[in-house]
Structure 1
Amino acid sequence: MRPDGQERLCSFSEINAEATRRAAHLLARGLKKGDRVALVIPDSDEFVLSFLGAIYAGIVPVPMYPQLSFKNVESYHDTVAHITRASGASLLLTTTGTRPFVEPVKDKVEGLKSIVSVTELEGPAPGAIDHVKISPTDPCFFQFTSGSTSRPKGVVVTHGNLAANSEAIMIHGLAKDSSVDKGVSWLPLFHDMGLIGFVIAPLFTDIPVVFLPTASFVRAPRVWLDTIHRHRGTITYAPNFAYALVAKRLKDKDVQGLDLSCIKIAGSGSEPIQAKTLHDFAEKLKPAKFDPRAFLPSYGMAEATLAVTFVKHMTGMRVDTVDSLALQQGKATPPQNGKNDGGTGHQELVCCGHAFPDHEIAIVDEHGKRLGDREVGEIIARGPSITPGYYQEPELTAQSWKQHDGETWLHTGDLGYMIDGEVYICGRIKDIIIIRGRNYYPQDIEWAVSELPGIRRGNVVAFSVDVDGEEQLVICAEAFQSDAAGLLEQITSTVAGQIGLSVHKVEIVPQGMLPRTSSGKPQRRKTKQMFLEGTLPQAGKAGRANAASPSDSNGGEGVQDGAQ
């Protein structure tokens, strides 16, 4: 579906024919097996057909997010140039409408020979394409990470990785039924969840998919539900923020007339999953006959192709309630009578299920020793979906892909624990805020602040800074300037009451001005850097908890966004 509401139907046979034609055009431009082509294509149909055309020719596509405005365009040019240069792409494929936003990249990348619009690939194929011999270990495409912690890194996703992950997701995870199942997705196709979850895996098992423009969902979340209702979609997926957006924006009248009883899979992943969000979504859509058993929390990351664990389909969300103080000390202990002596209560963590068949998850301490149930440590994973590493980044690859007992394990950097083989996610190792010897997860702080009226939900960043040799808490939140003065007291009292921490400084940032990754997540490291440099935009001077300036603090190591 296009932004103007027009739909284009492509059968599997038509997709095959068009991908073959585009493959021939790419080869006619001098590209050969193993060459890389950068894709900056906002239209779902053009993206899918061009992506598959490259693969048919043995060319390695490198998807990138498209920019459709000149806001911060120089930073965008730098990102596109970096990814193009790092991947070694010699051709950048785009659309006529997007071309002005990428044209300046040509002069920034020496190896980039040409920028081509998809319209230039129209017309009869210039010749038949020879059969391209592909092995499971050959790279299929490069998935560049969202860059939440540093400049994006290119994950090498092989054909074998995709085959293994597609089988695990569609057959073992979703128990697909090609006779009735249909996907509905607004997820961006330059991101692994949209690309693998709704293009590659469904093609692997003959499941049709309806694509919506991402911007259409953001502007009017009901379009997602309308499309599911109209097409009788059975499988959909979204990050936590999307479920929260629906629960917040939809009115009771918006739900009238919807029949969502067709949904058998409502997956959640890509970011920390909040139990309350899914509860609120299910309650909002109860009149539309949405079945909460359709919720399917999962865990994964680009370095593992996409997903590593799923809960069993049609079992819904399950929650583990743990003592907050014990969790800070590395133990996922159930609260005694719902209370503890730390004054910070308890919290709910969502079960993300078992590892797929032929895959394994383990929890280890900082020395690589395996931990037992309810002991918090780093999540490591192995199996055929684990990618071989980052493209031409041997040192970074060695930091995360490590040998244990003769097997290669991916050290995810995520913190979690297990109960009877099922994993629960706590946060990221470098995310941890350590204040007065206790560990705090920034996601918990951010979520508490996001719930306050006037705060844009999901647009809060928490981190610590060194102030006179002591770590102190800083919170940056997006809100309107008119609300800035009143939010100072609300934020500090909420964090004190729910988390048990005093806030050193609060910055209220104008709406849409927190730095973000290509997938829309606020960047903690970049936000912290801007705070320390004094370059973070402010909605109101009242947002400061004291008179010290950002430059009075000394910055330590940055923190990272987790993948869930």
Structure 2
Amino acid sequence: MNLTLVDAVSALPRGDARGLRFVSSHGDEHYYPYEALEREARKRAQKLVALGLNKGDRIALVILDPEAFILSFLGASFAGLVPVPIFPRGSLNFRTRERYAETVSHIVRSAGARMLLTSNSTRETIEDVLAADTGLERIVTVEALLDGEPPACDLPTLHPDDLCFLQYTSGSTSLPKGVMVTHRNLIANATAFLGPRGIDLHEQDVYVSWLPLHHDMGLISVLGALICDLPSVLLSTEAFVRRPGLWMEAITKYRGTISFAPNFAYALAARRTRDQDLEGLDLSRLRVAGCGAEPINAQALRQFSARFEPAGFRAEALLPCYGMAEATLAITFHDHGQPIVTDVVYAAPLGLGRAIPAAHDTGLRTIELVGCGHCFPGHELRIVDESGRALPERCVGEIVTRGPSITVGYYGLADASADAYRDGWLQTGDLGYVAGDQLYICGRSKDLIVIHGSNLYPQDIEWAVAELPSVQSRGVIAFSVMRDGDETLVVCAEGKPAEATALRRAIAQKVAECAGLQVGHVAIVQAGSLPRTSSGKVQRRRTKAQFEAGELEEHS
């Protein structure tokens, strides 16, 4: 399709019936019919052009409020600028202001952003960025941008292969890199995941989301909704974090039919919901409950289904999926309206590269993986070995994919782009296998734990340990280190100082039961202190580096 985001927004239906609704953290609502949304976007575009910004210039967005963020993003798009979403400090666990300033400065510098747009409420947290050598010309607030009427000016013409925005990776394995997403990539991915082989959009559908908009899953789901005319309700991320029940209440109130969230949110919602909280909920219209952005735990999805079944939730609404920023967003989707598919395989052979279905009652350790479906029409996916040769079913290898959703590389990083994008195929760095028509994700290749010749996937250990009641904030990271010439397992977990001794014993016992391994060291640290990415994922390699350098502050 030879369209851009601007073309898609301009072509949306007129009238008041369809649009975007923003619900603030205080519960205030602002509704924008599509026509009003476009009008506001053009107003902001004219203001940005008046500031001297030109087509193709990068503009950093550090905006916490969803309404201000979306309107500013669209304004930048209409002005032909390239938005660079950056996470506000208030949405993350940055232990120091200096650490946050370093991260933002890196993104601003690598993107070559001329201007940073923020709001009065968050300006103070990013002032330190000006002190760094980033090339940034100035910081402007949304409030100042909207002061007065915009001057009349012509907005530039956009083309499908123009850059739409830079999506910075979460940095779980390295410094964040700016993925170059074109308008063509965005349109292709949105029409794929909302099309007949994806969600299969219905006219009466309503999307409800609390996802942070600086992250690809939150941002592109909203942009996709605009491209494909899916009325949406956007909640405050902070409001969901404070009270997860708000999510299901909003789906009930606004008659939501589609929602997406990471695995942890489903587990959190099930755990925090009491019987009395179910009163008044009606989830019977929710036909798509997408789950992605992090490893998917089958047990967490089953617990969510059981918890909310009395409120009308149907397990068939669960839709596991797989994607990454380098593919714009979605790579594979489970078939909507169908029960989730899982594969129970023997753990030991899986570590050696073979997914062998487990028989019942053998006594051997098994792992249950969730099927993430298949890729979209016009896209391809393969499992390959280290030399790039395609592997047969049930053989574990690297996932590679190609198609119109695959982005054009990393901004300003030719070597990294050449390494990740080869002959049109994106090298995802994820390990997985195909069985039937389902893709199963095993984990990141660089995060494998290799002990005694066997490969172990850290999330399996982390999920098991996180079930212990004394572990706080889902804070568990597992990795291996060399000690006396041997690989040794280390588990870091967040817990209370008074419970540290008992928690160490419980973790060692849990790992022995679930993985048949002896833990070389258990580090109990303060809640919220383990490194995480901008999207909340644990940073294994950074934690490992801190551990090896003696920088983890462990409870005695």
Q: TM-score range by the shorter chain?
A: over 0.9
Runs ≥4 residues deviating over 4 A:
none
User: Does the 8 A contact of 2:55 with 2:80 survive in 1?
Assistant: yes
- The residue type equivalent to 2:49 in the other structure is L
1:195 and 2:195 are equivalent in the alignment: no
- The residue type equivalent to 1:451 in the other structure is E
In the other structure, the counterpart of 2:199 is: 174
In the other structure, the counterpart of 1:295 is: 318
In the other structure, the counterpart of 1:497 is: 513
Tell me, in whole angstroms, the C-alpha distance in 2 between the residues paired with 1:37 and 1:115.
10
| 1:458 Cα offset (Å) | 2.9
Tell me, in whole angstroms, the C-alpha distance in 2 between the residues paired with 1:297 and 1:457.
23
In the other structure, the counterpart of 1:111 is: 135
| 1:110 Cα offset (Å) | 4.3
Of residues 34, 37, 40, the one that matches 1:12 is 34
Tell me, in whole angstroms, the C-alpha distance in 2 between the residues paired with 1:9 and 1:109.
40
Greater displacement, 392-401 / 115-124 = 115-124
CA offsets per residue over residues 463-500 of structure 1, 9 Å max, x none? 00010111100000111122211111111111111101
Tell me, in whole angstroms, the C-alpha distance in 2 between the residues paired with 1:110 and 1:238.
34
Secondary structure (helix, strand or coil) at the match of 1:80 reads: helix
- The residue type equivalent to 2:500 in the other structure is A
- The residue type equivalent to 1:394 in the other structure is A
In the other structure, the counterpart of 1:532 is: 548
Tell me, in whole angstroms, the C-alpha distance in 2 between the residues paired with 1:281 and 1:496.
27
In the other structure, the counterpart of 1:153 is: 177
In the other structure, the counterpart of 1:88 is: 112
| 1:126 Cα offset (Å) | 2.9
What 5-or-longer segments of structure 2 have no aligned partner? 1-22
Of residues 103, 110, 115, the one that matches 1:79 is 103
User: Does the 8 A contact of 1:473 with 1:504 survive in 2?
Assistant: yes
Tell me, in whole angstroms, the C-alpha distance in 2 between the residues paired with 1:508 and 1:255.
35
- The residue type equivalent to 1:358 in the other structure is G
In the other structure, the counterpart of 1:391 is: 411
| 1:145 Cα offset (Å) | 0.5
Of residues 8, 16, 31, the one that matches 2:53 is 31
- The residue type equivalent to 1:12 in the other structure is Y
Tell me, in whole angstroms, the C-alpha distance in 1 between the residues paired with 2:504 and 2:151.
66
Task: Label 1:271 to 1:90 Cα distance change in 2 as closer, same or farther (>3 A).
Answer: same
In the other structure, the counterpart of 1:418 is: 434
In the other structure, the counterpart of 1:560 is: none
Tell me, in whole angstroms, the C-alpha distance in 1 between the residues paired with 2:487 and 2:226.
50
CA offsets per residue over residues 323-353 of structure 1, 9 Å max, x none? 111111111101133426xx4x211110000
User: Does the 8 A contact of 2:473 with 2:528 survive in 1?
Assistant: no
1:317 and 2:333 are equivalent in the alignment: no
- The residue type equivalent to 2:472 in the other structure is R
| 1:207 Cα offset (Å) | 1.1
Greater displacement, 417-426 / 64-73 = 64-73
Q: Once superposed, what is the RMSD of the aligned Cα atoms?
A: 1.2
In the other structure, the counterpart of 2:455 is: 439
In the other structure, the counterpart of 1:278 is: 301
- The residue type equivalent to 2:207 in the other structure is G
Secondary structure (helix, strand or coil) at the match of 1:103 reads: helix
Tell me, in whole angstroms, the C-alpha distance in 1 between the residues paired with 2:259 and 2:499.
36
| 1:457 Cα offset (Å) | 5.6
- The residue type equivalent to 1:376 in the other structure is V
User: Does the 8 A contact of 1:323 with 1:339 survive in 2?
Assistant: no
CA offsets per residue over residues 186-220 of structure 1, 9 Å max, x none? 100000000001x2100011111111111111111
Secondary structure (helix, strand or coil) at the match of 2:220 reads: helix
| 1:79 Cα offset (Å) | 0.6
Tell me, in whole angstroms, the C-alpha distance in 1 between the residues paired with 2:143 and 2:542.
37
User: Does the 8 A contact of 1:22 with 1:125 survive in 2?
Assistant: no
In the other structure, the counterpart of 1:506 is: 522
Tell me, in whole angstroms, the C-alpha distance in 2 between the residues paired with 1:124 and 1:339.
73
- The residue type equivalent to 1:453 in the other structure is P
User: Does the 8 A contact of 2:62 with 2:118 survive in 1?
Assistant: yes
| 1:23 Cα offset (Å) | 0.2
| 1:107 Cα offset (Å) | 2.0
In the other structure, the counterpart of 1:59 is: 81
1:133 and 2:157 are equivalent in the alignment: yes
User: Does the 8 A contact of 2:108 with 2:134 survive in 1?
Assistant: no
| 1:11 Cα offset (Å) | 1.0
Of residues 146, 153, 158, the one that matches 1:122 is 146
Tell me, in whole angstroms, the C-alpha distance in 2 between the residues paired with 1:131 and 1:110.
28
TM-score normalised according to structure 2 size: 0.94
Tell me, in whole angstroms, the C-alpha distance in 1 between the residues paired with 2:443 and 2:62.
31
Secondary structure (helix, strand or coil) at the match of 2:537 reads: coil
- Identity among equivalent positions (%) equals 50
User: Does the 8 A contact of 2:106 with 2:134 survive in 1?
Assistant: no
Of residues 358, 364, 367, the one that matches 1:347 is 367
Please list, as runs of the form range in 1=range in 2, the aligned pairs for 1:210-229 lying within 5 A after superposition: 210-229=233-252
| 1:68 Cα offset (Å) | 2.8
User: Does the 8 A contact of 1:312 with 1:353 survive in 2?
Assistant: yes
| 1:177 Cα offset (Å) | 1.3
Tell me, in whole angstroms, the C-alpha distance in 2 between the residues paired with 1:240 and 1:130.
45
TM-score normalised according to structure 1 size: 0.92
Secondary structure (helix, strand or coil) at the match of 2:26 reads: coil
Tell me, in whole angstroms, the C-alpha distance in 2 between the residues paired with 1:338 and 1:203.
50
Of residues 356, 370, 381, the one that matches 1:361 is 381
Secondary structure (helix, strand or coil) at the match of 2:30 reads: coil
Secondary structure (helix, strand or coil) at the match of 1:258 reads: coil
